[in-house]
Structure 1
Amino acid sequence: MPMPLSGLAQTLSNSVAKVQAEIVDVQNQLTAGTKTLDPASNGIVTRLGAQATAYGTVQNNISTAQNVISVGQTALSSVATILNQMKQIATQAASGGLQSTDLDSLNTTYTSLEAQAEALIDAASVNGVNVLGATNLVVTTGIDGATNTTVSAQNSKVGTLQTQLTGATTTVASSLVKATTSDVTVSAVVSHAQDFDMTGLPTTTSGATVTVGGLTFTAGSTGYATTTALADLFAAYISSGGVQPSVAVGKFSGSLGTVDLNGDAAQVTAASTTPGVLTLTSTADANDFVALTATAANSAATNANKAIVALTAALNAISTGQANLSAYSTGLSAQMTSAKALQSGLENTVGQIQNIDATAMQAKLQQLNNQQSIDYYLVSQMNTEAAAILSIFR
């Protein structure tokens, strides 16, 4: 049974509308370069796209960290050169045979070089970040908010080695390769006693001397590690009546001075300590207690040898710092490669989901245009047929 004319008209009308909608959709996709996705596919594209962007941020983080590391490596190399020059100066000063004016000149050069080294370390910054400083550089190398890499040159900052470089005290901070003296803080005689505060003295190695009254302690190969130990050495020697410490620690010579103002012997009858402070107690006749003086001295050779030890430690620390930075740089490079690969993979996946095949879409558009032309032709034919039928009733 033939389809009624009205039914055929509706079918053609629906076809025209459908083809027109498809043409508009294909044209929109061609213009945007992406497919029209359903909600589920849109959600996947959004999630994967965000991850790809995050890996791009990770690459920026790593690139910035590599710049900081590069500056740090350059600074450490320069500082190592300076410290080797300082070590040469210290070795020259330790050899002896130099006049005090020569030692003064060497010391001026030495302290100038030290200042340059510290300035280089402090200036090794990128955007306010100094990998050689006390604060570690934390690099976010993952997209989960928890994966980080901590970068540190580990003790390469010369400032942290200042104690070694300057002989441990501000008193001799500017006198590192020449002879130095330091005063022990001495109190007045009060209630039969006198205090000798040694806490301001440097710790020392072989050759340094500390004198209280006429009693001199000369440090041995190990010397004393703390000023508390130094005060205890004096107290033990005096209280024991002259028992010497081990040869490695050092040796006492001379005497405190055992005659008071009245000519009485055994002026000092007891010695005790609080941390770093030696207390000498007199006989009952306190008014006759002769106040003693005290000094500490380091020879040029002693200071220079201490500087050599400190510089060797500093150079070892810098070597460790250089190795660590090199390892961090290599590790970050590997993480950069990984981040790039992950970002590329995610972007490719997103592209496969949403990107169109332009050639196929152009072919489809041509097909739809052809279909639209056919539909329009059929509609025009139906209009002609309808007009002919209507003419019968006129």
Structure 2
Amino acid sequence: MPMPLTGLAQTLSNSVASIQAAIVDTQNQLASGTKTLDPAQNGVVTRLSAQSTAWGVVSNNIATAQNVITVAQGALSSIASIVTQMKSLSTQSSSAGLTTSDKVSLNTTFANLALQVASLGTNASVNGNNLLANATGITVSTGISGNSSTASSTTGVAGVNIPSLATTLAALSITSGNISSGTTGITSIAPTLTTAGTTLAAEVDTVTFTAMAAGESITVGGLTFTANGALTNTQAASAFASLSAGATSGTLTSLGSYSGTFVSTFTSGANTAGAVSFTATAAAVAAAATLVSSGAYASKADYATQILTTALTTISTGQSTLSASATGLNAQSSNAQALKTGLSNTVAQIQNIDATAMQAKLQQLNNQQSIDYYLVSQMNTEAAAILSIFR
């Protein structure tokens, strides 16, 4: 049975409206370059876009930190060169062929170089961040907080305490003379011979120590201890406490260095308020052995050379640390960029249109619209013919 005209009219009307809506939607997608997404797709795009943006910020943070490291590395390289020059001057000043006037002249240059170290450390700043201001360094955001794929959201970059180093270097001198005078590190040696009834017992020599300056050496019974910093009298005594016969070092290796060998005929006791008792063995008593002790100071130039050698080690360690941090941050930057790109590509796949496919679809819809319009015109002609019968 033929479809009534009213039913056909409704069908064609719905088709025309649907095609027109599809054409408008397709044209809008072509104009914006993005698809029309459902609520679930919109949520995914929003979440992934936010993560992509966050990784972009991380990448920028790392780039800024790399700039700070680069500036610090340049300054530290210059400081290393200056300290090397200072060490050469201190070594030259140790020469016996130089006059006092020569050493004063060298010391002037030496002091000026020390001032440059402080200046370089202060000026190695980028936007208030200075890796040469202290050993604490800086903290860099290298991950997205709360992201389970990131082990840590921050990375520390250790610094170098150039202000402290500069203060130490500024206090050095390479003029004639020793770094200190007066006491020798040992105030007294009190040998005593104990007896038990009529039997001769071991000899006990008590050595009382005083404070030591960096570079000062003390020798007791053939074992020499050289301090690498200022020590109290108690610390100096600890360097020789509890020694066994023939010992080549004591317990104070972190505060100085040892050389020589402790006499094989004595042992030492505990440190008691800066004094240590050395007890001879029976063989030593029989041979009437004696404990020889002495203290000595380094010259100013020799002491400066020692401190500058330590400073160069500190600088070298700092350079290695900064280089390692830069390498690590490069890897994290590559990771952040890869994550940002991957997330951006995923978002693009979800929301970006295929322009060629959309143009083909639009052409198809336009063709369908033309057909619908033709059918509507034919239906109107048929309806007019039917109505003419009743006129």
Asked whether the two chains share a fold, i.e. TM above 0.5, the reply is: yes
Q: For 2:161, give the aligned amino acid.
A: K
Q: Aligned partners of 1:223 and 1:373: how far apart in 2?
A: 102
SS in 1 for 2:126: coil
Q: For 2:177, give the aligned amino acid.
A: A
Match of 1:80 in 2: 80
Q: For 2:91, give the aligned amino acid.
A: T
Residue 214 of structure 2 contacts residue 303 of structure 2 at CA under 8 Å; is this kept in 1? no
With over 3 angstroms needed to count, the CA separation of the structure-2 counterparts of 1:147 and 1:342, relative to structure 1, is: same
Q: Aligned partners of 1:384 and 1:19: how far apart in 2?
A: 22
Are positions 1:25 and 2:11 aligned together?
Answer: no
Q: Which of 365, 371, 374 is residue 374 of structure 1 equivalent to?
A: 371
Query: How big is the shift at 1:110?
Result: 0.6
Match of 2:107 in 1: 107
Query: How big is the shift at 1:51?
Result: 0.8
Q: 5 Å matches for 1:344-363? A: 344-363=341-360
With over 3 angstroms needed to count, the CA separation of the structure-2 counterparts of 1:322 and 1:203, relative to structure 1, is: closer
**Same amino acid, percent of matched pairs:** 59
Q: Which of 311, 317, 325 is residue 314 of structure 1 equivalent to?
A: 311
Query: How big is the shift at 1:230?
Result: 9.9
Query: How big is the shift at 1:96?
Result: 3.0
Q: Aligned partners of 1:181 and 1:62: how far apart in 2?
A: 46
Deviations 1:96-120 (CA, angstroms, capped at 9, x unpaired): 3422221211111111101101211
Match of 2:331 in 1: 334
Residue 94 of structure 1 contacts residue 177 of structure 1 at CA under 8 Å; is this kept in 2? no
Match of 2:44 in 1: 44
Deviations 1:74-111 (CA, angstroms, capped at 9, x unpaired): 11111111111000011111233422221211111111
With over 3 angstroms needed to count, the CA separation of the structure-2 counterparts of 1:384 and 1:10, relative to structure 1, is: same
Q: For 1:104, give the aligned amino acid.
A: V
Query: How big is the shift at 1:73?
Result: 1.1
Question: How many residues in Structure 1 have an aligned counterpart in Structure 2?
Answer: 301
Query: How big is the shift at 1:128?
Result: 1.2
Which deviates more from structure 2 when the two are superposed, residues 133-142 or residues 75-84?
133-142
Query: How big is the shift at 1:226?
Result: 2.5
Q: Aligned partners of 1:204 and 1:14: how far apart in 2?
A: 100
Query: How big is the shift at 1:305?
Result: 1.2
With over 3 angstroms needed to count, the CA separation of the structure-2 counterparts of 1:163 and 1:112, relative to structure 1, is: closer
Q: Aligned partners of 2:389 and 2:303: how far apart in 1?
A: 126
Are positions 1:205 and 2:216 aligned together?
Answer: yes
Q: Aligned partners of 2:385 and 2:176: how far apart in 1?
A: 125
Q: Aligned partners of 1:231 and 1:7: how far apart in 2?
A: 112
Q: 5 Å matches for 1:237-248? A: none
Q: Aligned partners of 2:311 and 2:27: how far apart in 1?
A: 70
Q: Aligned partners of 2:176 and 2:139: how far apart in 1?
A: 43
Q: For 1:31, give the aligned amino acid.
A: A
Q: Aligned partners of 2:355 and 2:317: how far apart in 1?
A: 57
Q: Which of 144, 150, 153 is residue 147 of structure 1 equivalent to?
A: 153
Match of 1:159 in 2: 163
Query: How big is the shift at 1:152?
Result: 1.4
SS in 1 for 2:173: coil
Query: How big is the shift at 1:144?
Result: 2.1
Q: Aligned partners of 2:325 and 2:372: how far apart in 1?
A: 69
Q: 5 Å matches for 1:50-129? A: 50-129=50-129
Q: For 1:157, give the aligned amino acid.
A: N
Are positions 1:391 and 2:383 aligned together?
Answer: no
Q: Aligned partners of 1:19 and 1:361: how far apart in 2?
A: 14
Query: How big is the shift at 1:227?
Result: 4.9
Q: Which of 151, 173, 189 is residue 175 of structure 1 equivalent to?
A: 173
SS in 1 for 2:155: strand
Q: For 1:354, give the aligned amino acid.
A: Q
With over 3 angstroms needed to count, the CA separation of the structure-2 counterparts of 1:159 and 1:222, relative to structure 1, is: farther
SS in 2 for 1:139: strand
Which deviates more from structure 2 when the two are superposed, residues 15-24 or residues 104-113?
104-113
Match of 1:323 in 2: 320
Q: Aligned partners of 2:22 and 2:360: how far apart in 1?
A: 13
Query: How big is the shift at 1:386?
Result: 1.4
Deviations 1:174-209 (CA, angstroms, capped at 9, x unpaired): 63444378799xxxxxxxxxxxxx99x9555159xx
Q: Aligned partners of 1:61 and 1:230: how far apart in 2?
A: 46
Q: Aligned partners of 2:349 and 2:318: how far apart in 1?
A: 46
Residue 55 of structure 1 contacts residue 343 of structure 1 at CA under 8 Å; is this kept in 2? yes
Provide the TM-score with structure 2 as the length reference.
0.70
Q: For 1:150, give the aligned amino acid.
A: G
Query: How big is the shift at 1:318?
Result: 1.0
Q: Aligned partners of 1:25 and 1:68: how far apart in 2?
A: 51
SS in 2 for 1:121: helix
C-alpha RMSD of matched pairs (Å):
3.0
Deviations 1:309-351 (CA, angstroms, capped at 9, x unpaired): 1111111111111111111111111111111111111111111
Q: Aligned partners of 2:97 and 2:80: how far apart in 1?
A: 28
Are positions 1:226 and 2:231 aligned together?
Answer: yes
Match of 1:137 in 2: 138
